[in-house]
Amino acid sequence: MKFCPNCAAALAQRVPPGDSALRYVCDACGSIHYQNPKLVVGCVPEWEDRILLCRRAIEPRYGYWTLPAGFMENAETTGQGAARETLEEAGAHVELITAFSMISVPSVNQVHVFYRARLLDLEFKPGVESLEVALFEETKIPWKDIAFRTVTLTLKHWFADRARGCYGFHAEDIK
Ligand SMILES: [Zn+2]
């Protein structure tokens, strides 16, 4: 960040009084521009013992498989964002069940939240950000070609919970 979004003056970086972290501060208008982690929201769309995955048509991780997920937008809830991303990336209509995983990824300043979600039909089709969309049972999951560690962790929890017959909530960190 070089210039103030409020007044376009050059920004400085320093620790404001009473704060403990470096911030972008504007000496012209006095505003402090905080930068905070972004929330990525998505679904684990289920159909019996199978999960819907999308193969990415965009970077990063072009060609790798992922759960439908993306950056939360302003003015929506986490659940609305998860369902929206699932519709955009997989053309899939879902009914959310419950929040399932919350994984902090401080190395990229993100938190990933996935919901369990029931597919309402099998009319899914790839959106513009996906090459293909398909349902996978556990033994067919392309584990070596999963795009992100948060997705691998979430899928492992889902199949383990399903085998136990009891779904939990999984809060984790990827250091
Ligand atoms: Zn300013």
For residue range 108-141, what is the model confidence (pLDDT) as tens digits? Answer: 999 999 999 999 999 999 999 999 999 999 999 9
Provide the whole-model pTM.
0.93
Mean pLDDT, residues 83-87 taken together? 98
Ligand 1 centroid–CA 10 distance in Å is: 8
117 within 8 A of 44, measured Cβ to Cβ: yes
Amino acid present at 86: T
Which domains are present in the chain?
A: 1-35 (2.20.70.10), 38-173 (3.90.79.10)
73 within 8 A of 81, measured Cβ to Cβ: yes
Ligand 1 centroid–CA 111 distance in Å is: 29
9 within 8 A of 3, measured Cβ to Cβ: yes
Ligand 1 centroid–CA 37 distance in Å is: 22
Task: Give me the pLDDT at residue 51, please.
Answer: 98
Ligand 1 centroid–CA 16 distance in Å is: 15
Q: Which residues surround ligand 1, an ion (CB under 5 A)?
A: 4, 6-7, 9, 26, 28-29
